[in-house]
Chains A and B, each alone.
Chain A
Amino acid sequence: MEMLPLTLQVLVFPGLLFAAAAGLVTSWVDRMVTARVQMRVGPPFLQPFYDVVKLMIKETCVPAGGARALFLAAPLAGLAGAALASTIIWRAFLARGSGFSGDVIVLLYLLTLPALAVILGSFASRNPLASLGGSREMKLLLAYELPFVLAVLAVVARTGALRLEEILAAPAAATRPSGIIALVVAVLCMQAKLTLVPFDAPEAETELSGGAYIEYSGPPLAVFKLTRAMMLFTMPVFLVAVFGGGIRLGDGVLPAVAGVLKVVGLVVATILIRNTAPRVRIDQAVRFFWGPATLAALVATGLVFVGL
């Protein structure tokens, strides 16, 4: 791992290109499962790649009167955040305790960068529908961040560690009642973080015609799609790292496969939720995350302190 310079790591493996490729494959799985649920055949394996490449060769339109530089830079900032987050998480699996890494607080902040990019990009569009979408994305972030932070802190409280390697060295959180509750909360928050149904109010095709993304086209839209794909893969990996003992590489094939299966399990859970739930209004989402979800996360944290 240490053979590669850090620039290559963030750009190729385990950063940008790796996460993007894995994310596009994940999105193919998503589309396949969705198709099967809806009695359709589903797209070919490379369809997500074709979609991105096609957008890349399309013309870019910037909205008249908008903040052009911010409009074009916002997708890149989100991409950079997702790439760095992916690099840090995978380095915890691959290069345990050596050199550059990060802790869970850093990761929590880095993983909000893609959402922030969407918000700033939509505001720079100078379109009322985009503004509303951006504001919903912001409210959604406010909503899920509280239970998500509490769920992660339940693990920090158990292990007393902030560094991902130290959390990985401890027994997996999800083997205990507190960890299971925290994981369930975190999965629901992940659904919102990925703005998947039922928490897709920021895009809401039927009301806002794409909302936050309405003015985006061509390469900037491709970058947004790529970032979303990266998050679709990186978020489950992050949850597996924090709650599920991570992906153990270097201890033989079986543990590695088990780790990957955990990620696949979370992805499938996400897809099933998205295919079986209707969209909730943004105020319902806020109420849900600040109410029952936060309460459950607090219960999980409380259980940690009584030793469960």
Chain B
Amino acid sequence: MNGLGDILRHPVGLTIGVPLLTGLIGRLLPRAWRREQGIVAVAGTAVAAMLAWRVFAAGGLMPGAGPWLVVDGLSRFVLAAVATFGFLIALFSLGHAAVPPVAREYYAYLAWTVGIACGAVLANDLILLLVLWGLLGLTLYVMIGLSGPDASAAAKKSFVIVGGSDCLLMLGIVIVWLLTGSTRMNGPVLPFTGGLTYAAFLCFAAAALAKAGAVPVHSWVPDCGEKALAPVTAFLPASLDKLLGIYLLARVTRGMFAPDACMNLVLMAVGAVTVVAAVMMALVQHDLKRLLSYHAVSQVGYMVLGIGAGTPLGLAGGLFHMLNNAVYKSALFLCAGAVEEKAGTTDLDRLGGLARAMPATFATCLTASLAISGIPPLNGFFSKWMVYQGIVQSAGAAGPVWVVWLAAAMIGSALTLASFAKVLHAVFLCKPAAGTDLREAREVNWAMRAPMLALAAVCVLFGVLAVPLPLRTMILPAAGGDTPMIGVWWSGTATAMMAAAFVFGLLLYAVSRAGRARECATYVGGEIVGASAAPAASVEVTGVDFYRTIEEMQPLQSIYAAAGKKLFDLYDVGTSVLFYFVEALRKAHGGVLPVYLTWVLAGLLILVWRLAQ
């Protein structure tokens, strides 16, 4: 057993230690040094990211920490991703105008979250994992609450759901300990012998899914996304919590349990319902950040479907999708943050026409939107395609039901596209709605632009060069080795061919001199529209109501109405049930001093009476 010093000097220990120390330094700096706090956080997370990539490249376990930490194909790639996202978000925050008022707490908790998350990913002991998992719930609560009193309800909701799932995790750990007498995560694989094993697996799965935000334990994500600061959402629910939740699910299904057909069926059902239900909700949202949050839920479905397929290809697809989602989803939230800063709102009804004013933001948003909708040759397509193949492979085990899962996943992809078409139209392309003045909007500064463009570039890179770059170096080692595809998509070759056709079209344009196009006024039935002082609001199309026809179709209308009443929100239903039973007790706690004094006096009298007897 080596000393503490050895652990701290090793890159693995440093990856955890450096961000923790960074947070501490930031917390100790004076409150007024906002800029310096940001720079400290950026520097600290940058060092952590470099260390994490060194761990990733070197592999191997550090001496001495053997039973406590594990560095294998899965954990080292998630570690590198966690640390990198921490750095990118810190960089974005440096330029984001909403951060400075809360800079000291914000940067400290950001750095601590990175450190704790790195620890949780590396943890090999279930108790250690539980402690770090709980701490992450706490930092999540604090960071959501930072954006002011508006967010306190969302923070509480997140804490209750994520913290509540920690209890299930604890229960699962107790059962595993009862069955095996060990709390190691890389111990022998538990066979499904009795009800207890199923219970333990379901407890672990529930904890993982609550963290990742799958239906029905998803409802904290939209609330958090709407109320919290954009970089907080981009970091926590959009990337970090997905990485952690799906990491845990993958580790549990691969290293601890060997899920049978029944458990896989449960996972795939959860995945398919998550994909479709969440994207249907996203389709009808009016707020950009809330809309994006529903997609953050929906995308989890693909990862769960991949892992639930129970085939190596499905697992690899699920893990790849986890990584891809973190990339484009955080990019999208950063875009939302940029738009919010410059336009002062994320209400889709009041935005519009920002494509020219904010070209970099628009380019990022367009790329990430196409990636999340699974448009070839971007990264989202590749990982979805792998998940689909995994589902087809699972055909033998589960009977005809795989067709339903696959069709749900594929229509989910089209619905995602629809919802992002609406976003692109309402935020960047349409005329701003009447009464909105966005002429002052300008592109954001470089600290914000750099992370957005970097993430957009990764969307393209991981799609076009999927096999040589991410798959071979990160995903396949994490999923346990090379797996042959059953379909064919040579992403590099295909992209080159599409590029050739595109260039051919450009040549056509060049020959016919389409580049020297004349600008003409738009034609709206020959009418002059929006030119007068009072623009005719009735002919403006913001795109918010594009899917009204679908929304008003039965039975969808009733389902949307029920969702509006929060009937599908486990948290709200749960609180109503709870409050029904504790209502009487609540009434007794009126906060009126004389009432309390009366109770105390009555109690005293009863005591005296009892003692006197």
Contacts and interface: CB of A to CB of B under 8 A. Distances in A.
B460 interface: no
Interface in B567-600: none
B483 to A, nearest CB: 15
A129 B524 contact: yes
Contacts of A131: 425, 430, 541, 543
B376 interface: yes
Contact of A124 (B429, B502, B529, B543): B429
B425 A123 contact: yes
B541 A125 contact: no
Contact of A67 (B362, B496, B509): B362
Nearest to B504: A11
Contacts of B529: 128
Interface string A54-69: 0011011111111110
B446 interface: no
B237 to A, nearest CB: 26
Given A7-B500, A64-B519, A305-B400, A110 B550 contact: no
Interface in B489-534: 489-490, 493-494, 496-502, 504-506, 508-509, 511-525, 529
B411 A149 contact: yes
Interface in B321-378: 353, 355-356, 362, 366, 374-376
| A contact residues, range | 35 or more
B512 A219 contact: yes
A109 B539 contact: no
Which of A65, A113, A119, A214 has most B Cβ within 10 Å?
Answer: A65
Contacts of B541: 128, 131-132, 135
Given A110-B376, A119-B421, A286-B553, A67 B355 contact: yes
A153 interface: yes
B519 A61 contact: yes
B517 A76 contact: no
B541 to A, nearest CB: 4
Contacts of B411: 142, 145-146, 149
B523 to A, nearest CB: 6
A16 interface: yes
A301 B400 contact: yes
B410 A113 contact: no
A150 B403 contact: yes
Contacts of B490: 100
B410 A149 contact: yes
B424 interface: yes
Interface stretch (A37-45, A154-162, A187-195, A246-254): A154-162
Nearest to A97: B488
Nearest to B362: A67
Contact of B429 (A67, A154, A157): A67
A293 B403 CA distance: 16
A110 B385 CA distance: 12
A101 B502 contact: no
Interface stretch (B38-46, B221-229, B265-273, B412-420): B412-420
Interface of B: 353, 355-356, 362, 366, 374-376, 381, 385, 388-389, 392, 395, 399-400, 403, 406-407, 410-411, 414-415, 417-418, 421-422, 424-425, 428-431, 486-490, 493-494, 496-502, 504-506, 508-509, 511-525, 529, 539-541, 543, 546-547, 549-550, 552-553
Given A60-B514, A60-B517, A162-B392, 18 more contacts: A10-B497, A10-B500, A10-B501, A11-B504, A59-B518, A64-B519, A64-B520, A70-B355, A72-B515, A79-B504, A102-B487, A128-B529, A135-B421, A142-B418, A149-B411, A153-B407, A160-B395, A215-B522
